[in-house]
A and B are shown apart, each in its own frame.
Chain A
Amino acid sequence: MLRFAAKRLLLALAVAFAVSVIAFLLLRVSGDLAGTLAGEEASPEEIERIRALYGLNRPLVAQYGEWLLRSLSGDLGRSLFYPESVAALILDRLPNTTILASCGLVIALLLSIPLGMVAALRRNTWIDRTALGLAVLGQAMPSFWFALLLIFFFGLTLGWLPVSGTESLANFVLPAVALGWFSTPVLMRLTRAGMVEVLAADYIRTAHAKGLPVHVVLVKHALRNAVAPVVALASVQFGNMLSGSVVIETVFALQGIGYLAWEAISRKDFPVVQGILLVVALFYVLLTLVSDLLNAWLDPRIRGG
């Protein structure tokens, strides 16, 4: 386990490094940053002045080194629009996105695991086909459109739930459903596949032979084995939700990381964009690391070895 963990950690560090390089380069090579910052009517002298001001005339490697060192010490630079530092902005918005993604994940798991289980238990019946059909349909719906439909029906027409803001948990319900909906199909399919495989296993027959009640067989003996890959995928999905929060938070005007990213991108507030990219990517790296370790720990064959 230790050996596995060490290897996995090393990979995570390497990926984190690569991600930081990409986050840095993405906004440096994809255009003339100084020109963009100075605005379209700026004179060449003005652009040069801005270039010097932001240190954009120095070699890329030096710029990257400096940026990385500063970022590692928690200084992600300053926003071009807000008075706060990038780090402060991100920290300020992070709780909302974390609540949103957590609720989204909980909703996705609450939908996908029971549905996947029932589909597996009633394989090739109408229940199974309905669940699979919903999964296919769910994967085909654009997330922003689904979010708008939720707003239209539950917010505007029925008036059950607020459609924007972050005042109470009720404000998070619709965005979380919209976000969770898109992780549900893939998690459901995986649960179903896992359950189908596990239910055919000899140890399930053993459990029945012991006279255990059906729910004990299903939950303790079957689900535990079927759900390990689902757990691993769920944490990856959590990372995807952070990324997908751009769309959902924008639709619901929910003041989180995603909304901040969209604002910053629209206003070409590049230090903020870069900071968010770095934080979200590193968070994803961390999540995949945790998920791999968790998965290994759930599987005693890896844990012991």
Chain B
Amino acid sequence: MKPAPTASTSAEATSPEAVPVASSSRRRSRWLSNPGLVVSALVLVTIALLAAFAPWIVPHDPYAQALDARMLPPAFVDPERADPAHLLGTDNLGRDYLSRLIYGARISLLIGFFTMLVSGTIGTALGIAAGYFGGRTDSVVSFLITTRLSLPVVMVALAVVAVLGGSLEVVVLVLGLLLWDRFAVVMRSATMQVRGREYVTAARAIGCSVPRILWSEVLPNVVSGLVVIASYEMAQAILLEAALSFLGLGVQPPLPSWGLMVSEAKELMLFEPWMIMLPGAAICILVLAINLLGDGIRDATAPEGRA
């Protein structure tokens, strides 16, 4: 009894399906037109370059103590007491703060990156296995995820570091073994979606082996989600390392971990507040840049994320 719907409405004509696939130049402009993405990438590259070339850049040896030049404030805090040779002042042992901050970036980036690598490998493997095979594998992985989530990360990490001793390797390993859950959760659901696609069915039909399908058909199509989680988990690892070191159970002195620097400065907080402000702000800026980069990548790839 309806009038024949021979006509399509004008509203339908502008539906999202009609949007043509973005050309590569349009995609590039979309990446560049996202200010958060550009700024965070620039900040991150700067920090990474500083960290990489630290030995050639730093004005002083970050470990060299100078007991006659202790707790010199930066010029912008107190120009009277400041020493122009120490741009950001010196710590309670007279070590150059700027040099230590730059070396601290190495520690944060190294721990963040390798932790992300360890947890990403574990989580992605578990997640893809659960998503691709389903059934019992899926139940087991889901159970592992639930169990992992029940463990208090900071306490477990502290306890293990206390037993094994604090070092870069131990911190990376412990955090890596603790932070894989989000990778697993996201990869699991992404793989589940990809598994049903025609190209996976086709690959199976022509007799590709399972590892080959997972590697060359599934993984490339879930990778954009992976990058976002990776950035987030790297930021998490950096924050956790700082917390562990702050509590004295992470990276050990005299290494200039930013968390450790805050810890060493906290007794002097009332007199030299800049000493906790600087390393804390450094962590904050690094983590902010990584998170914004992740958000930016997510936003830039989301509408094309048809994978």
Contact between A and B in the complex (any CB pair below 8 Å): yes
Seen from chain A, the residues whose Cβ lies within 8 Å of a Cβ on chain B are: 11, 14-16, 18-19, 22, 26-27, 30-31, 36, 136-137, 139-145, 148-149, 151-152, 156, 239, 242-244, 246-247, 250, 258, 261-262, 265-266, 268, 273, 276-277, 280-281, 284-285, 288
Q: Assess whether B51 is interfacial by the CB under 8 Å rule.
A: no
Interface residues of B in 225-247 (CB under 8 A from A): 235, 239, 242-243, 246-247
A281–B152 CB distance below 8 A: yes
- Per-residue CB contact flags for chain B residues 145-185 toward chain A (1 = under 8 Å, else 0) read 01101111111101110111000000000000000000000
B249–A145 CB distance below 8 A: no
Closest Cβ–Cβ distance, residue B131 to chain A (whole Å): 20
A277–B159 CB distance below 8 A: yes
Looking at chain A's contact residues, the main secondary structure is helix
Closest Cβ–Cβ distance, residue A202 to chain B (whole Å): 18
Closest Cβ–Cβ distance, residue A6 to chain B (whole Å): 17
Closest Cβ–Cβ distance, residue A14 to chain B (whole Å): 7
Contact partner, A284, options B152, B239, B291, Cβ 8 Å:
B152
Q: Assess whether B270 is interfacial by the CB under 8 Å rule.
A: yes
What are 8 inter-chain pairs, A to B, with CB distance below 8 A?
A15-B146, A22-B147, A136-B288, A145-B280, A148-B262, A156-B269, A265-B159, A288-B146
Seen from chain B, the residues whose Cβ lies within 8 Å of a Cβ on chain A are: 143, 146-147, 149-156, 158-160, 162-164, 235, 239, 242-243, 246-249, 259, 262-263, 266, 269-270, 273, 276, 280, 283-285, 287-288, 291-292, 295
What residue in chain A is nearest B281 (Cβ atoms)? A145
Contact partner, B292, options A136, A242, A276, A288, Cβ 8 Å:
A136
A148–B162 CB distance below 8 A: no
A14–B143 CB distance below 8 A: yes
B164–A30 CB distance below 8 A: yes
**Which chain B positions have C-beta within 8 A of A27?**
159, 163
Tell me the bound Cα distance from A156 to B273 in angstroms.
Answer: 11
**Which chain A positions have C-beta within 8 A of B151?**
19, 22, 277, 281, 284
A277–B164 CB distance below 8 A: no
**Which chain B positions have C-beta within 8 A of A11?**
143, 146
B283–A261 CB distance below 8 A: no
Contact of A18 with B143 at beta-carbon distance under 8 Å, contacts A30-B164, A31-B164 already known: yes
What residue in chain B is nearest A22 (Cβ atoms)? B151
B152–A30 CB distance below 8 A: no
- 3 interchain residue pairs of minimum CB distance: A243-B152, A145-B280, A140-B288
A31–B154 CB distance below 8 A: no
**Which chain B positions have C-beta within 8 A of A261?**
155, 158
Contact partner, B154, options A140, A142, A246, Cβ 8 Å:
A246
B288–A137 CB distance below 8 A: yes
**Which chain A positions have C-beta within 8 A of B146?**
11, 15, 288
B243–A36 CB distance below 8 A: no
**Which chain A positions have C-beta within 8 A of B154?**
243-244, 246-247
Tell me the bound Cα distance from A19 to B146 in angstroms.
Answer: 10
Contact of A247 with B246 at beta-carbon distance under 8 Å, contacts A145-B283, A148-B269, A285-B150 already known: yes
